A and B are shown apart, each in its own frame.
Chain A
Amino acid sequence: MRPSDKHIIPPKWLLRLFIKKKYLEEIEGDMEERFQDNLERYSIRKARRLYAWDTLKLFRPLLMKNIGKDYQLNQYGMLKHNLVLALRNFKRYKTSFLINVIGLSTGLACTLLIYLWVNDELSVDKFHEKDIRLYQVMQNLQYGNGIETQDLTPAPLAKALLEEIPEVEYAVAVNDFFSLGSREGIFSYEDNRIEASGWFAGNDYFNVFSYDLIKGDRDHVLTDKSNVVISERLAKKIFGSTEGAIGETLEWNHSSFSNLFQVSGIFKNLPHHSTAQFDFLMSIEVLLDNDHWAKAWTGNYAETYLILREGTNVPAFNKKIANFLKSKDARLDDEFFNLFVQQYSRKYLYGQYQNGIPVGGRASNVKLFSIIAVFILLIACTNFVNLSTAQASRKMKEIGVKKAMGAKRKVLMTRFLIESILVVFISLLVAFLLVVLLLPVFNDITGKHIQPSFDFNHMLASCCIFILAVFISGAYPAFYLSGFSPITVLKGKFKTSTGGLWLRKSLVVFQFTLSIIFIVGLLIINQQIEFAQTKNMGYNRDNIIKFQWKGTLYNPWNGLRDGKSNIKFDAFMQALKEVRGVVNTTNMSGNILDKIVKQSDVSWRDQDSDRYFLFQSPVVGYDYLKTLGIELVAGRTFSKEHNDDYSKVILNAAAVKHMELENPIGRIIKMNGGSEIIGVVKDFHYGSLHNTIEPLIFRLEPHGRNILARIETGAEKATIKRIKELYMEFLLGYVFDFSFLDDDYQALYASEQRVAILSRYFAAVAIVISCLGLFGLAAFTTERRVKEIGIRKILGSGVFGIVRLLSSDFSKMVLIAIIIALPLSYITASRWLDSFAYRIDLQWWYFIGAGSLALLIACFTVGMQTIKAAKTNPVDCLRNE
Chain B
Amino acid sequence: MKKNRLGEFQELILMTVIVLQEEAYGVEIQRDLEARLNERLSVGAIQTALKRMEEKGFLTSEWGESTQKRGGKRKRIYQATPYAHRVLREMKDIRAQLWKAMPELGISKT
- Given A28-B73, A29-B66, A57-B42: A37 and B47 within 8 A (CB)? no
Give CA–CA (A29, B44) in the complex, Å.
13
Give CA–CA (A54, B41) in the complex, Å.
9
- Given A1-B69, A37-B27: A29 and B52 within 8 A (CB)? no
B96 interface contact, C-beta 8 A: no
Residue of B nearest to A29 (CB): B73
Interface flags, A845-868, vs B, CB<8A=1, else 0: 000000000000000000000000
Q: Which residues of A contact B46 (CB under 8 A)?
A: 30
Whether A58 lies near B69 (C-beta < 8 A) is no
Within 8 A of A (CB), among B36-79: 42-48, 51-52, 66-71, 73-76
Residue of B43, B66, B68 near A30 (CB, 8 A) is B43
Q: Which residues of B contact A62 (CB under 8 A)?
A: 48, 51-52
Q: Which residues of A contact B74 (CB under 8 A)?
A: 25-26, 29
Tell me, rounded to whole Å, the shortest Cβ–Cβ distance linking B55 to chain A: 9
Total chain A interface residues with beta-carbon distance under 8 A: 23
Tell me, rounded to whole Å, the shortest Cβ–Cβ distance linking A333 to chain B: 71
Tell me, rounded to whole Å, the shortest Cβ–Cβ distance linking A41 to chain B: 12
Give CA–CA (A60, B51) in the complex, Å.
11
Whether A33 lies near B70 (C-beta < 8 A) is yes
Whether A31 lies near B43 (C-beta < 8 A) is yes
Give CA–CA (A425, B51) in the complex, Å.
37
Residue of B44, B67, B70 near A63 (CB, 8 A) is B44
Whether A32 lies near B48 (C-beta < 8 A) is no
Interface flags, A591-617, vs B, CB<8A=1, else 0: 000000000000000000000000000
Total chain B interface residues with beta-carbon distance under 8 A: 24
A454 interface contact, C-beta 8 A: no
Whether B51 lies near A63 (C-beta < 8 A) is yes
- Given A33-B27, A37-B27, A53-B42: A58 and B47 within 8 A (CB)? yes
- Given A57-B44, A59-B44: A23 and B51 within 8 A (CB)? yes
Give CA–CA (A853, B104) in the complex, Å.
86
- Given A29-B70, A33-B69, A34-B27: A60 and B44 within 8 A (CB)? yes
Whether B43 lies near A9 (C-beta < 8 A) is no
Q: Which residues of A contact B67 (CB under 8 A)?
A: 33
Whether B51 lies near A28 (C-beta < 8 A) is no
Interface flags, A16-29, vs B, CB<8A=1, else 0: 00000001011111
A36 interface contact, C-beta 8 A: yes
Tell me, rounded to whole Å, the shortest Cβ–Cβ distance linking A176 to chain B: 59
Q: Which residues of B contact A57 (CB under 8 A)?
A: 42-45
Residue of A9, A26, A36, A54 near B44 (CB, 8 A) is A54
Within 8 A of B (CB), among A31-62: 31-34, 36-37, 53-54, 57-60, 62
14 additional A-B pairs beyond A9-B71, A26-B26, A26-B74, beta carbons within 8 Å, are A23-B47, A23-B51, A25-B76, A26-B47, A27-B47, A30-B47, A32-B70, A32-B71, A33-B67, A53-B42, A57-B42, A59-B44, A60-B48, A62-B51
Q: List residues of chain A with CB under 8 Å of any chain B CB.
A: 1, 9, 23, 25-34, 36-37, 53-54, 57-60, 62-63
- 10 interchain residue pairs of minimum CB distance: A29-B73, A57-B44, A57-B42, A29-B70, A30-B26, A58-B44, A26-B76, A32-B71, A33-B27, A33-B70
- A-B contacts, 10 of them at CB < 8 A, read A26-B25, A27-B26, A29-B74, A30-B30, A34-B43, A36-B69, A37-B27, A58-B42, A60-B47, A63-B48
